[in-house]
Structures are given as structure tokens and as C-alpha cells.
Structure 1
């Protein structure tokens, strides 16, 4: 989820913690738990700092080990331990419980969006992304905002207010999961060009009645469209190409990082004078006829990489980088 939503969950858990007698009976404990739940709701995304070491590492590792099973306990121990040092009278068990809930809730909500996490590492290194909840969901953020207003005004005590909020959100997540399952199940029948072997992915938008649709054809190409109130419309297609250079590009660090994350990769090769550009896009992330999450490698006439980039970027900015890339720039400097 986006940072604001994680913050909302952190403060919401602080309100929910008032069901715990240790929190409800002591203002110092309540303050410590609030700090812990807010910190715990943000901690797994601390790996965003990897970006300063380059896009290749960032794409490969963001939402990876920091969201894994061992990390749940590491973040909890670090945050609860620091809070125990600052608030020595607060029960350690109370801190551990609520910080752990905040960390796990962060990871759990991330699984429901399109980007996903390696939440079950080291059991599996697979990226788990269920494509059910948009990364920014107005209902989730809005329901928290209403609850916070009622809490601040003293209209409803937190021990009654926040269990109701999270019961509502549990129902909401269940409903969205069902709607997503129903949407994907309906796609073959709605698609007149459907063939055996085609695979569909429904991707959420901020509009409940609209899904972005990706169909992977049995040949490996992609069709992109929308499902709007039960009507399917195809709007674009992306043809995946093969060549010796495309295959060789898989070993480039930028492409390898991209492929370690992308579940819908599609490559194309483009000749530009004496240069050849190999571009890999993730077909899930189309925006205004562009595919902003990609890996690109520019090769010279000797098939040597002279420029590369991996990450999120607009077509205009990428084009400026490709045109302005120095003819002998080092691949390791690309995307920094």
C-alpha cells in the first residue's frame, strides 16, 4: 500500500490497542504502543533506502527480505526493544504484541496489491501479489479518516470504535477478493478471441467497477484492456520478440533485476542507426499507452552495452536518457 495508508493502519492499531487493558489503563503505555504501531507499520519499507545504492538493487530487493518471515520478528524486536529502553515501566509483552501486529499487517496488506512482496521468504522466494486492492484505496483511507475524527472528537471510545472499523475492513477485503475472483473467472466467456491456453489477470483500479486486464496469449504475447461494469474492451497489445541479443540481455544486471521481480515480462528489440535497444516491460503496468516499469539496455555496433536503466520512468524521460547516453558510458552507472 502507499505510505499514507500504512500510516493510517499504524494509528488505527493504536486505537484498536485500547481493547488491551494494559493500554487502556495507562496513558504512558498507550503512548508507547502508538509509537510502536506507527513505527511497525512503516518499518518493512525501510529498505526503500536501497534506492541510494542504485535502481538494480532497489528493484531486486525492495519489499523482499524486509517483508520476509524472519524480518517480522527482527523489526518487532528492534522497535519494541528501543521503546522498552525509552519507556521502562511499560510491559514488554504489550509492546511486542502490538508492534508485531503492525508489522504483519503491513506485509499482509501489501500482498493484496499489484506490486506484492516476498512475504513467505525463506519458505519461497516467489513474489506474492494477489491484485485485489489498489495501492491507494480511498475506502480504506477514508474509513480510517472518519474513525480518527470520531476518536479525536470523543464521540466514540476507541475500544468500541476500532474493532468495528477493522471488522468492516475485514469484510471489505473479503468482498474485494470475491469480486476479483469473479471478474477473472468471467473473462474467458467475455472475450470473443479467447483460446485455450490464454491466461488472464485482473488488476484493480481506484474505481471498484473497473479492472485493468492483461491477457497472456499462449504464444507469450500480451493483450491489454479494461473490464468496466462487466464489459471487456481490448485497448492495446504488446508483442514479445526473441533474438540472440534479447537472450543475451537477460544476463545484464538491469534486466536480471527486472526479471527477478516481473511476473509479466515482455521484450522487444529496436535498431537505431549503429545502436540496438533491448527493452523489457512489465505488461501489468500500462499507463496511457506507456509501460513505465521496464528495463532497457542500449548496445553499440559491437553488441557491447553502453547504457542501461531499470525502474519506473516515463517514455519522455527515458528517451532523453537514451539520446543523451554517452557512447561509452559504463553499464554499472546506468539507472543511478
Structure 2
């Protein structure tokens, strides 16, 4: 067979009807492309071009080869595209906070992996909304108020937030009333420094939040609470697995706050096929966890439309 490079060069010459213009477009010299076309004609045993003062025109066999090249290169391009898309369908990139990853997702993720063993999963803990819009991540999980609804992104409700103090199960004389927290060591997460004040105001007590250790993330403050260094303030759904295992207790229960956790995905036509199964698994995992804890999970809320990237 002629080389692929020679056939690509031939298709370029056929498109320009000029050796010089074709050579310039693909970064070759006129002499080099002329040599390739002579070698191709010798291999075929048929002339492909009729030379004239204004350039070249294709012979009948040249027209036949041009169509063959056009069809073949189109098939190659489509086949390569499908292979790339098939590979992309076996990958899933998830954007979420370190706390959500450590406290909620990883303790449950084995069940999803068992259902999709061939899927390569990437976690990005610093992903922002732009990463979802440009395709860097396929699923973005954020806590707070939902983004303003606009086209191109689907928003699905995952969990409502209730916060409360948690501590090690061996803590001596755990508090039985909110005002008992006034004299206990409080642990803070730098990402939610107002959480203790928010909880205190909800219970009508003025907590002194100026003291106590501050940790880089909620996960670290929870680990410190497990180590009996004090009380962390945490959302129930993020520490539920610790409560179920008995490594933490919540002596005062949890109080609802005006925050929710949302799942953001691109519209179905712009997302890999594995996104829908993952979102379905997220919702089922949270519902099962709510059922085990005796809570009521509201029906999933979903909206679609443009979402502001700010």
C-alpha cells in the first residue's frame, strides 16, 4: 500500500489543484511533494494528474483516488472520534469539598465501584463552577443556596442540612441541654467559623466562640472531636456514618439551618453517559442513610436552566 503520508499529500494536492499551494499548506517543499506524487503514480501504474501551466488537474483515475481518500479519511476520523468518546464514557470526574469526600462519599463509595468496576473515577476537591461548565468535572456537589437557575445545567437536591455538636462517645458527662455547652471546649473549622454562633443563636444562648482550636477543614475538627479534644459542630448528614459506627455521639441532636447540598450536572446531551447512574446512586445512598437514621428525606428536587457562573 502507498504510505498514509503520500495519500494525505495527494488529497491536499487534489483539493488545491496545485503542487505549490498544497506544499505550502502542509509545510513541505514543492520538490518533496512532487517526488511523493511521482512515487504514488509509479506504484499505481497510472497517471493521477495532467500538468498544465496553471497547475494540475486530476485524471479519471485521480478523481477515483480522490473519492477513495475522502471516504477513507472520513471513516478513520469517525472511528477515532468514537474510540475517544467510548474512552471518555469510562471516566467520571467528581468535584466536591474535601469534607464531603472524606465524610460522606468515600465511606459509601465502594458500593458504586462494585456496580461500575470498569469506571475510572477522578476526585477534584478544588473544582469550582467554571470547571463544570468547561467540562473539567462531570458532577459538582456544593453546599449552600442553589445557584440562580438558567439553561445548560441541571440542579438536583441531595440533602438538607441540620447541624449539632458531636464528641467522642467516652466524653465524661455529655451535655443534656444547650446551655451546658457554655463551659465546654469548642472545635472550629476555618471554612465554617460562624457555625457555632449560628447554632447558639438558634438555641438562644451566647456562646464564646473566640477560644478553641481552629482546624483547616471540618474533617479535621471531627477527627479532633473523635480524639476527645472537644466538641465539633457538624452537619448531621456528613457525620452520619461516624454516628452509626459509634465513633461519635450527638448528645444534643441536630438543628435545621437554611442550607442544602446540591448536585450540579451539565444537560444530558453535554455529559458522559455514566453521570446519570452516579447521580441516581448518590440520591439512593442518601435516602438509604436517612431511612437507617429514621429521618425523612424529601422528594428530590430538580430544576434545569442556565446557571450563573459567579
**Higher fraction of helix:** 1
**Higher fraction of strand:** 2
TM-score greater than 0.5 by the shorter chain: no
Q: Normalising by structure 2, what TM-score?
A: 0.20
Greater radius of gyration (CA): 2
Q: Normalising by structure 1, what TM-score?
A: 0.19
Give the structure, 1 or 2, with the largest relative contact order (CA under 8 Å, sep 6 or more).
2
